[in-house]
Amino acid sequence: RVESTKQESEIIRSFILVPIDGRQVIRHRPGQYLTFALQVPGTGLIKRNYSISSGPDDRAYRISVKREANPGVPPGLASNWLHDHAGPGTVLKVAPPAGEFFLNEKEDNPVVLLSGGVGLTPVLSMLEQIVRSGSDRPTWYIHGAENGRVHAMREHVRELASRAPNVTVRTLYNVPEPRDEPGRHYDQRGLISAEWLARNTPIDEAVYYLCGPRPFLRAMVGGLARNGAQLRNIRYEFFGPADELLAA
């Protein structure tokens, strides 16, 4: 059941989900997803996976969904239905948490969380867990967005980082707008690159968790390996109905 919703940016909305029977949720591993079976009028049953964007707890899940409505591309059936019709009290059919992309909390080497666009959802779950658990692992959270209008959860990430001296946050805007202030809303203009990561993170020892659009992942996975990251330390998740798995 949807308990509440929150508009995180122009195109991303979060949904807090709780069991209809009032019991505890199945605790997920940070980075995992939920599978939804949605009855969309005029379409029938469709299934979609949405990453859990909250850290593990026993009470609720949070998913943060991008409205898929790009020019020249058919609108996303599931995402648009959720944005337009799912509100407090809406009952959704959801399978338990699943997925092999999750934070390995037994490791203690530095961790770099990389996200592009709505790819922030699984790595934000990881960041919440690192902060809430009191882990002292050196941690970088690096996010790329077009601009402030579509940048979700900026203040939430800052609040998390303010509680953990081991966490460094860096944000890059590719197409900042006049109202986006450098040093306040974002740190640097441009795209995240493997070369930038090699200069700003401990590339030879860090574990990298990546999630984002296909071009972002293609550039990051190959680029990190070429710049000294160990292949076993490059872990990634694909998302969105149009994406397909790529070889590392």
The strand pair at 139-145 and 167-173 is best described as parallel
Is residue 247 a part of any domain in this protein?
A: no
120 and 90, same domain (yes or no):
no
| Domain assignment of residue 45, given as a range | 2-94
State which of 36, 59, 94 marks the end of a domain: 94
Please tell me the distance from the alpha carbon of residue 160 to that of residue 155, in angstroms, as a whole number.
9
Whether the predicted model's global pTM rises above the 0.75 cut: yes
Same domain, 47 and 121: no
222 and 193 share one domain: yes
Give yes or no for a contact between 35 and 53, defined as CB atoms under 8 angstroms apart.
no
Local structure of 214: helix, strand or coil:
helix
Residuewise pLDDT in 10s, the chain (248 residues): 999 999 999 989 999 999 999 999 999 999 999 999 998 888 889 999 999 999 999 999 999 999 876 555 456 788 999 999 999 999 999 999 999 999 999 999 999 999 998 889 999 999 999 999 999 999 999 999 999 999 999 999 999 999 999 999 999 999 999 999 999 999 999 999 999 999 999 999 999 999 998 888 988 999 999 999 999 999 998 654 433 333 33
Q: How far is CA 85 from CA 6, 38, 41, 246, in A?
A: 14, 11, 11, 33
